[in-house]
Amino acid sequence: MLRIFFILFCLLSYLFSADIAIVKVVNGDTFAKRDSTMLKLKVGNQLQVGDTLITKAGSNIGIIFHDGTILSLGENSILTIDEFLFKPIENEFKFDIDMSKGLASFESGKIGTLSPESVKFKVPEGTVGIRGTKFYVEVK
Amino acid sequence: METVVIVTWIGMLIAALMNPTPTTTVVLVENGKAQNAIVVETKAGSIVVDKPGGYVNINSKNEKPSEINIMSEEKINSKFKSAIESTPLKPIHVLLYFKSGSNELTQSSKDKLPQILKSIKERMPCDVNVIGHTDTAGSKKYNEKLSLQRANSVKKWINLQNIDLIDLKVETYGETDLLVKTADNVSEKKNRRVELLIR
């Protein structure tokens, strides 16, 4: 019985701690708040869903998500990765980012190509979405 | 025709000190692709920005985004400087082709190797995925093995370059993920390939 619980636990922790992005550029003091710990980020670190990225004054960071999306944050910024799911074979996509402060550059990758309606970049006052040709015509 | 939609944008300046409710600015940036548009939305309405350099401000949840204005390249580059500076190089995707029934690269693919090595070095610390495929000639089982041999031969080449990668993953699809759709038992040179994803 204990063994089954142990296997379940391992499976669950694998499912919930999957790496979704990699840190490619870091200057100065940048952190990821994960659960209740603050991790100082270095180039090569892996990021997970739920991580909040924080950059201090004079610091910045650049990351690449597993679908090829490129995100960079300038100084004094705070941004949380709320959702990221990239399963092209199963046609399952989710991408929610929540930015509460600072400067960001965002260039969408495969999720933006395959499922633009799944990409949501939230700001305090609203959201920014990306659209394919079809959706663009509808919006106009 | 496949519709490619890649959107680039650089955004968000929150001047909390100047305004009791934060103000957000979103700018669409040139991405070198035909399709490039964003939709900025609040509870009160939305606006489509589809010209690079076009920007909108949003002042509150309950107000529509502002009209679109144009920001000069110079202004964009100074305003978003600290985010632009830490933008990583784009990941690249390369295809290498193989001789029939073999894990030996074609000559034109061999010629690509120095450029691939350069792309990896420019992206250090780098993360590489090697994905092996075959055409449908031969049995499914044979092709599973062959796609692994192809992926492993590329992996072996990378390992010989003395570069310290963060991660090098090998995946194989056998004959199940064809680039050119064919019936079973068809020899097709475009399907005899290894994909390299260099991040």
Task: Report which DSSP code applies to A81.
Answer: E
- Calculate mean pLDDT across residues B140-158: 96
Does the distance separating the beta carbons of A131 and B16 come in below 8 Å? no
- A38-80 pLDDT per residue, tens: 999 999 899 999 999 999 999 999 999 988 889 999 999 999 9
Q: How far apart are CA A105 and CA B87, in angstroms?
A: 7
A2 class by beta-carbon count within 10 Å (0-12 exposed, 13-18 middle, 19+ buried): exposed
- Calculate mean pLDDT across residues A75-99: 92
* Cis ω before B125 (30° cut-off from 0): yes
* AA identity, residue A126: G
- Calculate mean pLDDT across residues B153-177: 93
Q: How far apart are CA A28 and CA A42, in angstroms?
A: 10
Does the distance separating the beta carbons of B127 and A104 come in below 8 Å? no
| Domains in chain A: boundaries | 18-131
Using an 8 Å CB-CB cutoff, list chain B residues near A125.
21-22, 24, 42, 58-61, 63
Quote the tokens at residue B75: 């202004």
- Calculate mean pLDDT across residues B190-197: 96
Does the distance separating the beta carbons of B38 and A131 come in below 8 Å? yes
**Given this model, what pLDDT does residue B34 score?**
73
Q: How far is B179 from chain A (nearest CA, A)?
A: 15
Does the distance separating the beta carbons of B3 and A133 come in below 8 Å? yes
Q: How far is A81 from chain B (nearest CA, A)?
A: 16
- A114-134 pLDDT per residue, tens: 899 999 999 988 999 986 433
Task: Return the percent helix, strand and coil in chain B, to nearest 5.
Answer: 25, 25, 50
- Calculate mean pLDDT across residues B135-142: 96
- Chain centroid offset of residue B33 CA: 13
pTM of the full structure: 0.77
- B21-39 pLDDT per residue, tens: 558 999 988 877 777 889 9
**Given this model, what pLDDT does residue B32 score?**
75
**Given this model, what pLDDT does residue A130 score?**
84
- How high does pLDDT run on average in chain B? 87
Q: What is the 3-state secondary structure (H, E, C) of B141-175?
A: HHHHHHHHHHHHHHHHHHHCCCCCCCEEEEEECCC
State the DSSP H helix or E strand holding residue A9, giving kind and residue range, or none if neither: helix A2-16
Confidence of residue A7 (pLDDT cuts 50, 70, 90): low
- Calculate mean pLDDT across residues B153-169: 93
For chain A, what percent of residues have pLDDT higher than 70? 81
Q: How far is CA A73 from CA A6, A14, A38, A103, B95, in A?
A: 39, 28, 17, 6, 32
Q: Which domains does chain B have, with CATH numbers?
A: 9-85 (no CATH), 92-198 (3.30.1330.60)
Strands laid side by side in the B24-28 sheet: A46-48, A19-27, A60-65, A70-73, A104-107, B8-11, B24-28, B54-58, B69-70
Does the distance separating the beta carbons of B87 and A124 come in below 8 Å? no
Does the distance separating the beta carbons of B41 and A127 come in below 8 Å? yes
- Calculate mean pLDDT across residues B123-132: 91
More confident residue, A89 or A98: A98
**Given this model, what pLDDT does residue B22 score?**
52
| Residues 113-142, chain B, touching A (beta carbon < 8 A) | 123, 125, 127
Closest chain B residue by Cα to residue A76: B82
